[in-house]
Amino acid sequence: MSTTRRRTVFRTVAFVAVSSLVALGPAGAAAAATGRPSQLQRDTDALHEDGVTGVSVTLETPRGVRTARSGVGDLGTGQPVPRNEYVRIGSTTKTFVATVLLQLVGEGRLSLDDTVDTWLPAVVEGHGNDGRGITLRQLLQHTSGLPDYTSDVVPDLSAAGYRTNRWTTYTSEQRVAFAMRHSPSFEPGTAWKYSNTNYVLAGMVIKAVTGHSWEQEVQARIVRPLHLTHTLTPGTWPFLPAPHARNYQQFEPGGAITDTTTAYLPFDGDADGAMISTADDTNRFFTALAGGELLAPAQLGAMQHTVEVPADHGAPPGTRYGLGLDWTPLSCGGGYWGHSGDGFGYMAWPATDGRNAITVSLHSRPGDDITATRQIREVTGLVDHALCSARDEAPQ
């Protein structure tokens, strides 16, 4: 799930910060030697000081790689956030899935103007939902109006509910069937609203076209060609590989925090948000995508053709959404491409301006919307500072 387009079932996390920081990489080492933390480290520390248990950041520029960590990766042991950690990337998965579907468009195997019903007959129907009038483009751009299934798979938004229901698995068809219990939000193509159901359907379309699961196609078309050796499509396997930090969720304002490192399979297991990666791999993916390594110009242009994200959605001002890819303006001019992802206890925020790439990972979420909004604002501020500074430092 995307943090800027949060599932309504989530609250996110504020609580007393636990430990302090370690700076990594050449820039961090130099700052430590002089006693002057870099801006990247200061921004990372600010997130920890605002209640995030553990934070890690990796910034890649033509001048090299800079990293920063703050807080702890395990509240029980006090161990720091691991270097080169595996993280859940949640709805960042959607960009991988959209890329595969657009590759199929480039191969002439389908069209963005195909209806959902063309490939998935009678799957989207009931309560006013009609796959005969929804295009694949509208799925990828969240302009389909389809209801989001995720509230149906969180019957109890509490620590006990998480523990009880986290092992439950659903097929893609079952997830779509949950959504079909509800009426659409609007007529297709008339507005924008984030719905994870769109990408469950996109994964199903990939299988209908290729005969292979979306996971197989992502691996064959993106992961292996780019040598993303730490990027996984784990299916219903609910655990993170080592090394990883632990994730923590606060389920109500002021409440206790819960270790949510184990996936919540009802929504962590499909084409809308199942993947696991590392900051290095995620940066490599977005750099390759923006640089035209994965899509032909026509398909990349279609992906980057954006619509406005409503101001009340919680995204940074000026954010626009393409096909599985969003664009956020920078204070220094221009903007960056990315797609955030989150779930119980975690958030990933990758971004690239085409030359530099950054991924921010948070390992806890607060239980109140005010803190959640403030932490997201701090993440976007960190990304803005990092990319604008990298631009200023670039050789002329």
Residue 12 pLDDT > 50, yes or no? no
The fold of 21-393 is Beta-lactamase (3.40.710)
pLDDT band at residue 8 under the 50/70/90 scheme: very low
pLDDT band at residue 158 under the 50/70/90 scheme: very high
- Predicted pLDDT at 13: 30
**Which of residues 314 and 364 earns the better pLDDT score?**
364
pTM: 0.92
- Which residues, listed in sequence order, are joined to residue 257 by a DSSP beta bridge? 250
- Predicted pLDDT at 123: 98
342 and 365 Cβ atoms separated by less than 8 Å: yes
What six digits make up the tokens of 362? Answer: 């948070």
DSSP 195-249: -THHHHHHHHHHHHHHSS-HHHHHIIIIITTTT-TT-B--TT---PPSS----EE
- Predicted pLDDT at 394: 65
* SS3 state of residue 57: strand
Give mean pLDDT, residues 84-102.
Answer: 98
Q: What is the pLDDT of residues 165-188, one digit of tens each?
A: 999 999 999 999 999 999 999 999
Give mean pLDDT, residues 261-267.
Answer: 97
d(C-alpha 267, C-alpha 120), whole Å: 21
Alpha helices (H) in the chain, listed in sequence order: 25-34, 39-49, 93-106, 116-119, 136-141, 159-165, 172-179, 197-210, 214-218, 265-268, 279-290, 297-303, 369-393
pLDDT band at residue 31 under the 50/70/90 scheme: very low
- Predicted pLDDT at 7: 39
* SS3 state of residue 27: helix
Catalytic residues, which ones?
91
What are the residue boundaries of the structural domains of the chain, listed by start? Answer: 21-393
DSSP 339-391: --EEETTEEEEEEE-SS-EEEEEE-EE-SSHHHHHHHHHHHHHHHHHHHHHHH
Rama region for 179: left / alpha / beta (φ>0; ψ in -120 to 50; rest): alpha
- Predicted pLDDT at 133: 98
d(C-alpha 298, C-alpha 70), whole Å: 41
Give mean pLDDT, residues 331-341.
Answer: 97
Cα radius of gyration (the chain) = 20
Residue 192 pLDDT > 70, yes or no? yes
Residue 25 pLDDT > 50, yes or no? no
- Predicted pLDDT at 312: 80
d(C-alpha 21, C-alpha 6), whole Å: 28
d(C-alpha 15, C-alpha 180), whole Å: 37
Residue 132 pLDDT > 60, yes or no? yes
pLDDT band at residue 159 under the 50/70/90 scheme: very high
pLDDT band at residue 393 under the 50/70/90 scheme: confident
349 and 3 Cβ atoms separated by less than 8 Å: yes
Q: What is the pLDDT of residues 318-335, one digit of tens each?
A: 999 999 999 999 999 999
- Predicted pLDDT at 27: 40
Residue 372 pLDDT > 50, yes or no? yes
Residue 370 pLDDT > 50, yes or no? yes
Other Cβ atoms closer than 10 A to 320: 18
pLDDT above 90: percentage of residues in the chain: 88
Q: What is the pLDDT of residues 223-237, one digit of tens each?
A: 999 999 999 999 999
Give mean pLDDT, residues 38-45.
Answer: 97
Nearest to 221 by CA among 109, 370, 135: 109
